[in-house]
Structure 1
């Protein structure tokens, strides 16, 4: 396996940022997707709610140039619309989010996703943020997905450790976001359970929505609290003392747990893709992890 492929194998391309930006950034988004393929990334994750369908359409345009058999494509059902149209952009005005986890909605959603993506099958479908809808998820969503020949594996994608834990034994894959990062370790017990059950884990949002990438951006899509900012600055200094950049540690951290198969990072440009591939492919001294662990409360 080449160096690029080895780096890319650990990284999945999250389409949230390009979807949120929509067609306004089409050329840059397609260049990012091409750079991901060239760098060895083979898993591309999207959702209908990423830019109200734009994330799937952009990925679909790129997929026409990639050998289908070599690509893993995941999308989602249940969350129809985000509360913030582009959580990664400057406009944080909120709107009413929409959810529909009924079996009829799931079938329509998968069909629409396949049309946007130009595919006849999804390798993985994640039930998207079913935190307040577990009853219908168990009674309708998952059974509907299991019945669909155009759906491969079934998983859950959520920020809630409790939700993911409640669906262990029902799903094949867990995608957990904002709960297994340098600053947030809430998912540690969940990952142990996943490892014991043989459930693959996709660790999403390794940069905490931006803060760990540059130290000044949003934290969980909001302005970072002063105490979090201060702690991250200390983390950055500790990393520097070990000859490591903070985003390098942030990208590699999730892979410390054996249950994690890939890190899912949202990327907007070819430059970001190449930077992240270089970061995740650069080893981190073991002593650094012990020093960073002491800073987590």
Structure 2
């Protein structure tokens, strides 16, 4: 599997990443056996970038991912986690987490982008994973915490990076405007951009992607299926877009894109994975993978050939923004 390096760092990630939110029981229960088998299958497929966070299942994702990776050669993979939500005892549990994960709520999340909060979060992540270090640390959803995140959290991460404790630092969010500020105004090396550079939403062309190119920094693309609307060959009514029911107009647009994909001998989900990687600043697409079947499907889609002419055709039909750039050697996803 192709690898790309975060500029100005020694951190190298595979083009396809393993998103571990779902093995933290996102939306529904995943068995420990399926979670472990998903990581094993991803490893066998050549995936060497794994992303998690304390938020995911109130630590369950970190524990499961750490257990599955613990006996792997540490120098052969890249692990990222996030800071900004400390896990603290919940004095008023209801029995089930209220933020989308099917886990007990004996713990709760507490926003904290302070220097001490960042260091404590990293230490607790290492305890939960049982691993010796994190390669990438992102600030997690600092939408309402810019000042503390920029003034305290990011300088703390930069100090740890400069000491060699962390390989690369950044922020991860569902919006692109604030991520652009992190790239322009802080020591961030990389950002994880969820849902804003996809076949249905290229709004990152207005801010974060130009910032990344201007400052020689990198972007990891997540949420490339926009919560599911781009995940099937033929989108159906009732599918999700950005965590909500997809508006009919967007379903129609997704179907139009699917028609063009079919005419070029490929599929909508394969194109959805390949598209972000055509931008010169995007180094990885990270997908949630719950079980071995999902891993096999995602790796198969990643390897599916997507001809460069598809992007031209989509632009000509007004289905992609006209100014969408393509790296000279990344216009299509080659067969392995």
- What TM-score results when the alignment is normalised by the length of structure 2? 0.79
Match of 1:6 in 2: 2
Partner of 1:290: 312
- Partners in 2 of 1:277 and 1:194 — Cα distance? 27
2:204 matches 1:187: yes
Give the Å deviation of 1:236.
1.3
Q: Count the aligned residue pairs.
A: 286
Deviation for aligned residue 1:185: 0.1
Q: In the alignment, which of 127, 141, 158 is matched to residue 146 of structure 1?
A: 158
Query: Structure 1 residue 23: deviation in Å?
Result: 6.8
Distance 1:24 1:175, change over 3 A: closer
Matched, 1:164 2:179: yes
* CA deviation map 1:143-177 (0-9, x unaligned): 22233353331111112211111111420111111
Three-state SS of the structure 2 residue aligned to 1:212 is coil
Measured after TM superposition, the shift of residue 106 of structure 1 is 1.2
Match of 1:245 in 2: 267
1:47 matched residue in structure 2: 53
Aligned to 2:125: 113
Summarize the alignment of residues 72-87 of structure 1 with structure 2, pairs less than 5 Å apart. 72-80=78-86, 84-86=99-101
Higher RCO structure, 1 or 2 (CA under 8 Å, sep 6+): 1
Alpha-carbon RMSD: 2.3
State the Cα deviation string for residues 242-277 of structure 1 (Å, max 9, x = none). Answer: 111110000100011010111111111112111211
Q: Does 1:28 align with 2:34?
A: yes
Contact 1:83–1:97 (Cα < 8 Å) also in 2: no
Looking at structure 1, the residues matched to 85 and 223 of structure 2 have their Cα atoms a distance apart, in angstroms, of: 18
Give the Å deviation of 1:193: 2.2
In 2, the alpha carbon distance for the partners of 1:261 and 1:55 equals 24
Query: What SS does the aligned partner of 1:156 have?
Result: strand
The separation in 2 between residues aligned to 1:24 and 1:164, in whole angstroms, is: 31
Q: Hey, which of these two has a bigger chunk of helix by percent?
A: 1
- Please list, as runs of the form range in 1=range in 2, the aligned pairs for 1:148-297 lying within 5 A after superposition: 148=160, 149=163, 150-169=165-184, 170=186, 171-189=188-206, 190-214=208-232, 215-216=235-236, 217-293=239-315, 294-296=318-320
**In the superposition, relative to structure 1, how do residues 71 and 132 fare at CA in structure 2: closer, same or farther (>3 Å)?**
same
Range 21-30 or range 279-288, more displaced: 21-30
Q: Indicate if the aligned counterparts of 1:14 and 1:46 stay in contact, CA closer than 8 A.
A: yes
Q: TM-score, normalised by structure 1?
A: 0.89
